[in-house]
Amino acid sequence: METPASLLERLRLPAQEQAWVRFVELYTPLLFHWASRWEPRPQDAADLVQEVLLQLYQKLPEFTYDAQRSFRAWLHTLMHNRWRNLHRRFVVPPVGGDPAALSRLPAPDDDSLTEDDYRRHLTRRALELMQKDFQPATWRAFWACTVDGRPTTEVAAQLGMTLGAVRAAKCRVLCRLRQELKGLLS
């Protein structure tokens, strides 16, 4: 069986509904996190996320991933620019008043999510989405060894599995996770 292409590579191909569904499932919570920092009203944040997803739908088929650059930074910049463009249309210049009041307005926090936070968020979200694709015993073995850090022998005894089955379960889930996140964690 051939190794599946990364998500970003699949998005470049026509008629890749499953790739788009996976992308939206992975990235919508992150986009809402950013949007909610700039848009206090939930409906405005949802509108911004929708605008960005539409823009991504148009841009990602031509997007070429560069392993030397951060996809998250590109995505954040795209979203921030979209937010600024939306607000440019609605800005009404102040008439009189305190000119210093503008300097007291909160600025968007571009560093609201560190690289480690981003990696944890995307990994956690990918695992949530992948869990349904594995048998419960496979998932429990993977989780106990990898996340809980328990010894393979202990997990095998508790779950009534062989050591090889526990190691295989861990390997299958980790390999799938790498495939899901290929090109997204840089």
Tell me if 158 sits within 8 A of 166, measured CB to CB. no
CATH architecture of 1-90: Orthogonal Bundle (1.10)
Q: Do domains 1-90 and 126-186 have the same CATH topology?
A: no
Q: pLDDT digit string (tens) for 99-146?
A: 454 455 444 454 556 777 777 778 888 888 888 999 999 999 999 988
Burial classification of residue 151, based on how many CB atoms lie within 10 Å of its CB (0-12 exposed, 13-18 middle, 19 or more buried): exposed
52-84 burial string, b = 16+ CB within 10 Å, else e? bbeebeeebeeeebeeeeebbeebbeebeebbe
Domain boundaries, the chain: 1-90, 126-186
Q: The pTM is what? A: 0.55
Q: pLDDT digit string (tens) for 2-56?
A: 223 477 777 777 777 888 888 888 888 889 888 888 887 888 888 888 888 888 8
- Which band of pLDDT confidence, cut at 50, 70 and 90, is reported for residue 88? low
Tell me if 146 sits within 8 A of 174, measured CB to CB. yes
CATH architecture of 126-186: Orthogonal Bundle (1.10)
